[in-house]
Structure 1
Amino acid sequence: MTKRFAWLRRNGPAVFGVALLVGAIYVVQREFRTLSVADIRQAMAAISPLALWKAAGWTVLAYLVLAVYDKLGSLYAGRPVSWPKSFLASFCGYSLAHNLGFAAVSGAAVRYRLYSAWGLTPLEIAKVVGFTSLTFGLGGMALGGLVLVLEPEVVPWLGSHMPRWALQAIAVPLWLIVGTYVVLSRFKQHIRLFGHQLDLPGPRMALMQTVLATVDVAVTAAIFYTLLPEAAGLTFLRFVGIYLAAYAAGIAAHVPGGLGVFDGAILIGLQPYMPAPEVIGALLVFRLYYYIIPLFISGTLFVGFEFGQRRAVLDRVTALGRGSETLEVPAIASLVALAGALLIFLGALPTKGTIIEEWAGHAAALASHFAASVVGSLLLVMAYGLLRRLTIAWGFTLFLLANGAAIAWVRGEAWWLWGAFLLLGVLVASLRAAFYRDSRLAREPLSSEALVPLMAVAACGITLALVAYGGRVSEASWWGVVFSELAPDSLRFTVGLTGVLLLVGMVRLLRPARLQPLPWDAAIRSRLAALGALAPSEADGAILGENERAGFAFLKRDGVWLALGDPGGERRDAISAIWRFRDMCERAGVDAAFWRVGRDYLRVYADIGLHAVPLPPREGEAGSYLALRAERDLESLQPLLPPEMRRGASPSHSRAA
């Protein structure tokens, strides 16, 4: 039972997120069956210039409100920074995290890089990060409770399946949490929450948090609401309820930007008020304003900041100084995932009137339609491989992006659409050096374990191609056939099973070579010592690289496994050992950390989402670092930090009133 609970705790959020994503795909697929690009373009053209300007103004105000989060957070930490720095940290942190959502570029990781350059200690940065994260939650609970009391029926799906009084009752614990936080801040300075110590601000600061976050949620919802046409019965408060429910679903799905899940929930919530084309048109403009444009601006600002840091401190080599390099791959992976989602979107639209239908007939048009959803699905898998720096994923991505451009072209889409696929392909090709890992397909012998998924992928690809080119599917994507009541049951089963096997097979082929953690004994200790790695008398295990020419020892702690020093041995195999350790920790549901590492592998530690904290140099060494997920593991690893960076060791600051 304990093992089952541990498995559920480790994998439950991911399983729940996948379930939400599958449900969202079904909703989007159902809504898009009767749509066309012309319908959506017409709906977007109907948005008035005044509404566009108002939405732009709300967007600017929303990001200014978020800047206040960081300003108050720095005051709470006792190290206030200027308003320009607060805006830069907030804007880069939120816009990059909204769009990318990966560990290396999460809002917390970006803030650690920025604030550490401005002289804040890791503990002070942790306070800023915790303050900003908690602030948003307080606003969501306060405003969500108000919606549940006044307009509970607007919550998508739940509003029509639960009694009104039951939904209103949910507001009580939400408001109770907010009220308890404000009251406790008056009488206590510290509380323990889920094993972590939380330093409470004063009551005035706590009240300001709640009000500020409530305003933030309302202003962000106003961006979307302004872009919608007038609809009878859709008040702003009702829309806020729909928006909050959709946003919460997007967060729960762990998908960057809530892509697909947020959109599906919005479609369900607004279905009683207006047609789907008008919702989708406003949704696309909202994403452009709140996600896409800020992403490019913040990315430019962040890279400019990094270049400035390098010029100012040429001899400082930390994870901070390599921030722009570690940002590149997650950003590219996110764009590849967006390209896959776009192809899936195209695969859900009708094929009538496309160029390929005029040239090659209806059957060929259906084939391109079917291919769009298959290639889009595979691009989502490739984004997973790119994040793990796999060379094979880099090659497959180039091939699939070329296919995506061809599909968009033959369907008669605008030049900028298929041109975007080609441009993304050029960007991916330019980062060849960033993908330095071999998958099990390239590294291991062609064993039965590797041969089975390889044959499955080939068979599935051929099967789906035959189904598409045979003209035996209606105007639906490959999963649309599965849900279609018009298709024969045998065809629905065949296509569904084939599609799932294709994706699972690709994931298995992209997985790194098999993990082989070794037990700690005298033989492995002497082996690591011969490689030049630390070989203490006591350890919990050891990791070797894929070629067994590099390795290191590690200790198991609660929630984090700590590697002891840099890997010793051949550099290329040392990099594979670092990644194998990261993958092993991910499978075990713990975080990876590295103690007393040098400068040689800081880029790799940053690639796996770790932040390097300088440690006091020992006699005769140039300096070392503790590489860790600072936003999560700083408290548990504090004993390894120098005294001035530990909780309570630095001069105390007056409590924020």
Structure 2
Amino acid sequence: MSEHEELPVEVSGPVHVSRLRVWIWRLGIAAWLVILAFALAALHKEWAHFHAKDFKAALARLGWMHVGLALGCTALSYFSNAAIDLFSLRWLGKKVSTVKALGCSYIAAAFSLNAGGTLLGGGGVRMRLYTGLGLTPGEVARMAGFAVFAGWAGNALVAGILLILSPAALPMVGGALARGIGVLLVIAVGCLLLWNYWRRGKHDVDENLRWPPTGLLFAAILSSALDWVMAGMAIRVLLPGDLGNIGTAGFLGVVLVSQLLSALSHVPGGVGVLELSITRLAGAAVPHAWLAAALLCYRALFYLLPFALAAAWMGGREAWAHRRKVTRSVEILGGVWMRLGPRLGALLALGGGFVLMLSANTPMLAARRMWLKDTLPLTFVETSHFLSSIAGVALIVVARGLQRRVHAAWWAAVLLSIAGMILSLLKGFDYEEALLLGFLLLCLIPYRDQFHRHAAMWSRRFTVEWWFLLIGLTTVSVWLGFFSTRHVEYRNDLWWRFSFDGDASRFLRAQVGVAVVLIAVLLAQWLRPTPPRVRKKQAELSDEKRAKVAALVAEAPQCQAHLALLGDKMFHFSRSGNAFLMYGEQGRSRIVMGDPVGDEDEWDDLLWNFNETAEDEGRRVCYYQISSVTLARCIDMGMRLFKLGEEARVSLTEFSLESPDSRRLRQARSRAVRDGMSFEMWTPEQSKAHMTELRTVSDQWLDKHSAREKSFSLGRFDEAYLTTGPMAVILKSGTILAFANLWCGGSKEELSIDLMRYGSDAPGGVMDYLFTELLVWGKEQGYHWFSLGMAPLSGMAAHPLAPLWQKLGSLIYLRGGAFYNFRGLRDFKEKFHPEWDPHYLAVPSPWHLPAALTDITTLIGGGWRGVMGRQNRKISSNASP
């Protein structure tokens, strides 16, 4: 386990955790499981009247021509969907290779269609792929918003036209009403285009960048419309030529309405919901056996096959990206799977376990049944069938441990995969399952070291989300088993009937094994000792650990690590002690300041362990001001991200005081020199000798701004802290006018300042002079970057498609000058021509955001008294960041 040491704190009582917000959030996750169960039950009722032989006959009717046409429509649908990203990239002015953009869009769409809004959704995939092409997370979010807007506008346009042409697509309403709905949908799309055109014409050139050109948006909507039409045609070509009164146009309308309902349900892939909707709306025109066969084939061709190709494409894409960095194919494959394999492990364990359970609950193919009769004893087949269902549910259980990178889960998954491959071949020569499990082994075996956490399998309770996922997958497989054997009359002797034709008997016995495993897991989780939610008094940080923190801070390339030296943080160390998180506590929140510090190879284990420890103690985990370095890890842990602002960084390797862009800086420097000011760099010993004068300047600055000392995310005037590094000082006739303490990053990667204050007698422009001299000094010393600090709420998107948080932040940034000069602070930093890097807040869910922001503000302000006691004053443009 990781060492977990903190600075001394007071003893506090038990933590009273409110579960209301947590349960409201989790009810949303439970909702799609309820919808899934309802859809499967209703679908079972709809399809219960036809016999299995009718279904097999309908499947036999589908030939290679039908499959080929369906694949062609599927390809056109995915291509049209991917083309929307090309339009959004053109809107953003990003030059990305067309092939790369189409590939990224296709992969993200395949993951999103199959996983929906669950733990395995495509949002994180899209973020990873496009940020790898040089886009910022904010730009990727704008692309996603554009795609959602164009996608559903295209759906509305096609649905409206089809309802006008064939109102029979909505049999539950009259023809006139259906046509009226169609007209309203078409008019709504036209109004949206006119509104976009009006908004672009109303704003200036800069504001127009937030609104896509109307022609471009219309082209994206047409592309989306083609996507929806081809998605419907992929089902239509699998059905008989004559659809009766409903016709092809009416059936396409049915598919569009059904796709909308399945999307609103948030059920992954719309499983059950899509099939039920199409059956209810178009079932009168097509025999149910034929419709079921077409929908099953469509599910495989439109959902599962593109998903498998997307996973393979990701591997190929990574290999191609690294083709120039390695010389041998083995090294290429190793580099690809080092990043991709472990992350696919949990997903493939879920998929492999689910497929094993489905296979154990469905009848054996006739050809394979005959082969088994002639090859293997019945005992082997019966035993393999029973054990494969147990291996399937066990793999789903183990997937949670794989996500947490637990070493014991790796061993369990490897052994279960090998056993599942053998059992799949013995129970029915199911080589498809064996190949899937073999692929899982390829993601696990080569990278045993990636699953380095030596926690026990039951070291943490399953989250409610994982219980929902486990129960949902089990429910689907059990329903499929009952549906497949619904024409077999139940008798008590089915339980002990053993024969090659006894599919129903094998299904019943398999469910007993699955139930035993689930009950055992439930009891193990329920009876697991729960750590007491009581804050214990922490031992004072040892001298050895203090020295270790100081050493890691000195080696850290990012300057923000120096906040660990303030003395107001608690620390969570990695197992080896070579990395740590610094954090503080306020209310229920455990707030981490910035990115982890230390060996990056230990960050995964460090972050997971911190999250789990906080969860055991009933704490809300918040990651404050994290950069893109930690972004992907927070996404993997299921955290929700909210942009806080942007950090200004000046490239010192490219900085030159003689360049045309630095004219204002040269003027500020010359004016300061004429006024008799000088710049000096003081050692810690010099700073200590002049500490009284420095405190006088600091007090004058606080009085002028009616401010109090901050903490946690900002430095404060503390002698021990200010003497941990050099000090930049502006003097005039030996009197200190202004000062700033410096943060020096390891390997001279970055240079920054923290506490920056000037006296009441300091002339205007003193801060410009200070920053100019620091940039010149940093360049001379060989530093690569100079950080000017963060501009809060900077870079927020105000587009209607942007998330609510970004629109609110943009409004405060533009209109909140009465409380804080957000724009003035960014304008002050813009004069140094920096590059802007986004910083984020990560919280467990959006429900936690208000409480997290309140706790963070209170912690930085030094408590409620510090927050409420501040006067509302504008911060001048040359005030401390």
TM-score, normalised by the number of residues in structure 2: 0.53
Say whether residues 1:290 and 2:298 are aligned partners: no
With 384-393 and 348-357 compared, the bigger mean Cα shift is at 348-357
Percent identity reads 21
Say whether residues 1:60 and 2:68 are aligned partners: no
Q: Is the 8 A contact 1:525 1:535 kept in 2?
A: no
Q: Is the 8 A contact 1:77 1:125 kept in 2?
A: no
Relative to structure 1, the CA distance from residue 138 to residue 254 in structure 2 (aligned partners, 3 Å threshold; closer, same or farther) is: same
Q: Report deviation, 1:535.
A: 3.0
Q: Among residues 208, 213, 222, which one is paired with 1:202 in the alignment?
A: 213
1:129 partner amino acid: A
Q: Report deviation, 1:89.
A: 2.8
**Counterpart-to-counterpart distance in 1, 2:56 and 2:354:** 18
Q: Report deviation, 1:136.
A: 1.6
Relative to structure 1, the CA distance from residue 186 to residue 351 in structure 2 (aligned partners, 3 Å threshold; closer, same or farther) is: closer
State the secondary structure of the residue aligned to 1:553.
strand
Query: What is aligned with 2:592?
Result: 563
Query: What is aligned with 1:139?
Result: 154
**Counterpart-to-counterpart distance in 1, 2:252 and 2:534:** 50
**Counterpart-to-counterpart distance in 2, 1:350 and 1:103:** 30
Q: Is the 8 A contact 1:62 1:216 kept in 2?
A: yes
Q: Report deviation, 1:432.
A: 2.8
Relative to structure 1, the CA distance from residue 328 to residue 365 in structure 2 (aligned partners, 3 Å threshold; closer, same or farther) is: closer
With 367-376 and 30-39 compared, the bigger mean Cα shift is at 30-39
**Counterpart-to-counterpart distance in 1, 2:309 and 2:33:** 31
Relative to structure 1, the CA distance from residue 31 to residue 536 in structure 2 (aligned partners, 3 Å threshold; closer, same or farther) is: farther
**Counterpart-to-counterpart distance in 2, 1:220 and 1:412:** 34
Q: Is the 8 A contact 2:648 2:837 kept in 1?
A: no
1:387 partner amino acid: Q
Q: Deviations over 1:254-311 (max 9, x none)?
A: 5554455545655665654545554454344434433444345444444344344445
Relative to structure 1, the CA distance from residue 529 to residue 141 in structure 2 (aligned partners, 3 Å threshold; closer, same or farther) is: farther
**Counterpart-to-counterpart distance in 2, 1:568 and 1:512:** 32
Say whether residues 1:215 and 2:226 are aligned partners: yes
Query: What is aligned with 1:229?
Result: 240
Say whether residues 1:595 and 2:626 are aligned partners: yes
Q: Report deviation, 1:15.
A: 0.9
Query: What is aligned with 1:48?
Result: 63
**Counterpart-to-counterpart distance in 2, 1:389 and 1:116:** 24
**Counterpart-to-counterpart distance in 1, 2:179 and 2:315:** 47
**Counterpart-to-counterpart distance in 1, 2:572 and 2:174:** 55
With 12-21 and 291-300 compared, the bigger mean Cα shift is at 291-300
2:306 partner amino acid: P
Relative to structure 1, the CA distance from residue 443 to residue 104 in structure 2 (aligned partners, 3 Å threshold; closer, same or farther) is: closer
Q: Report deviation, 1:222.
A: 1.1
**Counterpart-to-counterpart distance in 2, 1:174 and 1:7:** 37
Say whether residues 1:69 and 2:94 are aligned partners: no
Q: Among residues 172, 177, 193, which one is paired with 1:182 in the alignment?
A: 193
Q: Report deviation, 1:54.
A: 2.0
Relative to structure 1, the CA distance from residue 261 to residue 70 in structure 2 (aligned partners, 3 Å threshold; closer, same or farther) is: same
With 541-550 and 389-398 compared, the bigger mean Cα shift is at 541-550
Q: Aligned runs of 1:483-562 on 2, under 5 Å? A: 501-502=519-520, 504=522, 532=549, 534-535=563-564, 551-554=580-583
Q: Which runs of 5+ in 1 are unaligned?
A: 192-196, 315-320, 448-452, 454-463, 483-491, 648-657
2:405 partner amino acid: R
Q: Aligned runs of 1:305-316 on 2, under 5 Å? A: 305-310=317-322
**Counterpart-to-counterpart distance in 2, 1:477 and 1:139:** 49
Q: Among residues 348, 353, 357, which one is paired with 1:335 in the alignment?
A: 348
State the secondary structure of the residue aligned to 1:232.
coil
Q: Deviations over 1:50-92 (max 9, x none)?
A: 3223223222222321232011101211224443343233223
Query: What is aligned with 2:606?
Result: 577
Q: Aligned runs of 1:205-284 on 2, under 5 Å? A: 205-230=216-241, 232-233=243-244, 234-248=246-260, 250-252=262-264, 254=266, 256-259=268-271, 262-263=274-275, 271-274=283-286, 278-284=290-296
State the secondary structure of the residue aligned to 1:220.
helix
**Counterpart-to-counterpart distance in 2, 1:519 and 1:208:** 62
Q: Among residues 372, 397, 401, which one is paired with 1:381 in the alignment?
A: 397
Q: Report deviation, 1:17.
A: 1.6
Relative to structure 1, the CA distance from residue 148 to residue 429 in structure 2 (aligned partners, 3 Å threshold; closer, same or farther) is: farther
**Counterpart-to-counterpart distance in 1, 2:566 and 2:537:** 9
**Counterpart-to-counterpart distance in 1, 2:189 and 2:541:** 53
**Counterpart-to-counterpart distance in 2, 1:327 and 1:69:** 27
**Counterpart-to-counterpart distance in 2, 1:261 and 1:569:** 48
Q: Deviations over 1:315-368 (max 9, x none)?
A: xxxxxx98864433443433333333333433443469757899777x998887
**Counterpart-to-counterpart distance in 1, 2:574 and 2:27:** 30
1:131 partner amino acid: F
Say whether residues 1:23 and 2:48 are aligned partners: no
Give the greater-gyration-radius structure (CA). Answer: 2
2:233 partner amino acid: A
2:626 partner amino acid: W
With 410-419 and 11-20 compared, the bigger mean Cα shift is at 410-419
2:581 partner amino acid: F
**Counterpart-to-counterpart distance in 2, 1:407 and 1:39:** 30
Relative to structure 1, the CA distance from residue 49 to residue 567 in structure 2 (aligned partners, 3 Å threshold; closer, same or farther) is: closer
Relative to structure 1, the CA distance from residue 284 to residue 5 in structure 2 (aligned partners, 3 Å threshold; closer, same or farther) is: same
Q: Is the 8 A contact 1:404 1:421 kept in 2?
A: yes
Q: Report deviation, 1:431.
A: 4.1
Query: What is aligned with 1:456?
Result: none
CA RMSD of aligned residues (A): 5.9
Q: Which runs of 5+ in 2 are unaligned?
A: 1-16, 203-207, 327-333, 462-466, 468-477, 479-491, 550-560, 652-742, 751-784, 791-796, 814-821, 839-881
With 349-358 and 518-527 compared, the bigger mean Cα shift is at 518-527
Query: What is aligned with 2:27?
Result: 12
1:471 partner amino acid: W
Query: What is aligned with 2:451?
Result: 435
Q: Deviations over 1:105-126 (max 9, x none)?
A: 8655444444445444444333
Q: Deviations over 1:228-255 (max 9, x none)?
A: 2345335334433443454445545655
State the secondary structure of the residue aligned to 2:69.
helix
**Counterpart-to-counterpart distance in 2, 1:57 and 1:253:** 28
State the secondary structure of the residue aligned to 1:61.
helix
State the secondary structure of the residue aligned to 2:428.
coil
